[in-house]
Structure 1
Amino acid sequence: MKLRESKPALLLVDLQKGFDDETYWGGNRNNKDAEEKASQILAKWRSLNLPIYHIIHSSQDPNSRLHQSHAGFEICDQVKPIDGEQIIIKNVNSAFIGTNLKEQLDTEGITNLVIVGLTTNHCISTTTRMAGNYGYETILIDDATATFDRIGLQGEKYPSEMVHQISIANLKDEFATILNTAQLLKTV
């Protein structure tokens, strides 16, 4: 059975221009082509007329690159929404909190989700965990997500790839099936 038969929704989470400022977010971003991978998946979803949801983070901090007054609030050019695609604006890490995403998915009878976007250890992890907790069959696309270096409590530096891989490992099997873009495109 092809994945498309289950009418999976694609959630494009926080693919916004504000993440282009690597220094602001901690530097040394991994998966620098995550947006391109996401655009390949988006093109496939559009060609199959499958449900698409663009999730946008609207920071309440006026200094944030993701505040509505900042140019970084805009969705990246590679994955710009077109007419008919849902746009959900959130203010916290989860795409489900303070939004009507779950209601929209349930109204459409959607039980399968594919998640891509930024950043792996924040909004991707939180949204994926909640999707799993709500009972959605969730697929997280490893190479269409990314994060940045993090600084620990004692000032130690954690490289972005390590943060990403640990975040993915924490989600694997319990909350989501982990695939890369090529694997997903073969199964859909």
Structure 2
Amino acid sequence: MKIDHKTALLLIDLQKGFEDIEYWGGGRNNPDAELKASKILKVWRDKGLPLYHVQHCSTTKGSPLEPNMPGNEFMDLTKPIKSEPIIQKSVNSAFIGTDLKKQLYEKGISKLVIVGLTTDHCISTTSRMAGNFGFETYLIEDALATFDKIGVNGEKYPAQLIHDTALASLHEEFAMVIQTSDLMKLL
């Protein structure tokens, strides 16, 4: 993979509302995911590469991600600066109901590097669509995270298992899954 101005970083749903672990299921994996994402973001900014902040604006009443709620704000570590583009969405894909695909095509972007939350929801759906749209897509495993889930029969699935199985379904089908250290070697 060659990282150049045809490679965009997507920072998905790195919002304060996800700091409420109990609301999202009680357990979480990759506690350093946001720190890793911020390190990637710093290098991306230093190199002047294209990037997009994706913000989930929930339509679910009571969600910490509802617009005008404190949880809708971006986390301080990865907060947009200056004129960095913000893509606002209300569903689990950064491509649905937004002009993200149009913006990427207009800039000639053919590769995406994705970090953020949550692995099995917005990361997975956005990655699947990106792959189907023909983007060469890379997921940075240790800069992604998710939460525990309760199954249809009431069983609890730990966040790491949810994360691992979601990425196993995506790897080499819709995206390549790599580590922050692998990405840094390419930068």
Tell me if both proteins adopt one fold, taking TM over 0.5 as the criterion: yes
1:187 aligns with 186
Within-5 A mapping of 1:46-57? 46-57=45-56
The 3-state SS of whatever aligns with 1:170 is: helix
Q: Shift of residue 83 of structure 1?
A: 1.2
Within-5 A mapping of 1:1-188? 3-5=2-4, 7-188=6-187
The 3-state SS of whatever aligns with 1:148 is: coil
Q: Distance in 1 between matches of 2:175 and 2:151?
A: 27
Identical positions, percent: 57
**Deviation string for 1:150-173 (max 9, x for gaps)?**
001111110000000000000000
**Counterpart of 1:38 in structure 2: which amino acid?**
A
**Deviation string for 1:6-25 (max 9, x for gaps)?**
53100000000000000000
Q: Distance in 1 between matches of 2:90 and 2:126?
A: 13
**Deviation string for 1:12-55 (max 9, x for gaps)?**
00000000000000011100111100000000100110001000
Q: Distance in 2 between matches of 1:154 and 1:87?
A: 38
- Structure 2 unmatched ranges of 5 or more: none
Q: Distance in 2 between matches of 1:57 and 1:166?
A: 23
- Structure 1 unmatched ranges of 5 or more: none
Q: Distance in 2 between matches of 1:62 and 1:37?
A: 31
The 3-state SS of whatever aligns with 2:3 is: helix
Give the TM-score normalised by structure 2: 0.98
Q: Shift of residue 3 of structure 1?
A: 2.3
Q: Distance in 2 between matches of 1:74 and 1:128?
A: 23
The number of residues matched between the two structures is: 187
**Counterpart of 2:94 in structure 1: which amino acid?**
A
Q: Distance in 2 between matches of 1:89 and 1:5?
A: 25
- 8 Å CA contact 1:18, 1:65 repeated in 2: yes
- 8 Å CA contact 2:21, 2:27 repeated in 1: yes
- Runs of 4+ more than 6 Å apart: none
Q: Shift of residue 126 of structure 1?
A: 0.2
**Counterpart of 2:39 in structure 1: which amino acid?**
Q
**Deviation string for 1:113-143 (max 9, x for gaps)?**
0000000000000000000000000000000
- 8 Å CA contact 1:62, 1:69 repeated in 2: no
**Counterpart of 2:145 in structure 1: which amino acid?**
A
Give the TM-score normalised by structure 1: 0.97
Q: Distance in 1 between matches of 2:61 and 2:50?
A: 32
